[in-house]
Amino acid sequence: MPQPISPPDTSQDMHECLISVGSNIEPARHIAQVQKILDEECELIKASRSIRTAPVGLQEQPDFLNAALLVKTSLEREAFRAYLKQVEDRLGRVRGPVKSGPRTMDLDIIAWDGEVVDESYYRHDYVRHPVDEVLAGSGRQLHNRGCPSL
């Protein structure tokens, strides 16, 4: 059984990470829980409001709530991605054969230290709108904005 990744140690160099958040199983509760977890285990800088969106892919499922979070972490990007997957698991995420199926929590790194690392920011309004709200509210800007080739 894999060992859990420890929450970030705030005494080291810090990275800023923009995270896309999505849930369609008790979404309000799960988004509040992930904000609490990331605020306690990282440094939550800014959170967007949640927006309701229709599912993409598999249509026979409830609407999603989507949001974005800006956090600081001392972990490197791949270690932080693994940490986020563990947070999803802690919130009851079940990974099934249908990638676009219902979920308690989906956490994706969209930008790392101000650089876009996931092109879904350019392709999906449900990602871009909450991220842009966080950017505007935090005074941050992204590199590669408008340049979908990563």
What does the pLDDT profile of the chain (150 residues) look like in tens digits? 444 444 544 446 899 999 999 999 999 999 999 999 999 999 999 999 999 988 776 667 788 899 999 999 999 999 999 999 999 999 999 887 777 778 899 999 999 999 999 999 999 999 999 999 999 999 999 986 555 544
Q: In the numeric block, which tokens belong to residue 8?
A: 């970030």
Distance CA 125, CA 83 (A): 26
| CATH number for position 82 | 3.30.70.560
pLDDT at 32: 97
Nearest to 10 by CA among 105, 74, 76, 68: 74
Residue 90 lies in a domain: yes
Question: Model pTM?
Answer: 0.85
In a domain, 48, yes or no: yes
Q: Is residue 58 part of a domain?
A: yes
Residue 150 lies in a domain: no
Half-sphere exposure of 118 (CA within 13 A, CB side): 18
Q: Is residue 149 part of a domain?
A: no
Q: How much is the pLDDT for 21? A: 97
Indicate whether 115 belongs to any domain: yes
Q: What is the extent of the structural domain holding 100?
A: 15-138
Q: Note whether residue 3 is domain-resident.
A: no
Are 73 and 42 contacting, i.e. CB atoms less than 8 angstroms apart?
A: yes
So what's the pLDDT on residue 12?
Answer: 61
Domain count, the chain: 1
- Is residue 65 included in any domain, yes or no? yes
The catalytic residues are: 93, 103, 106, 108
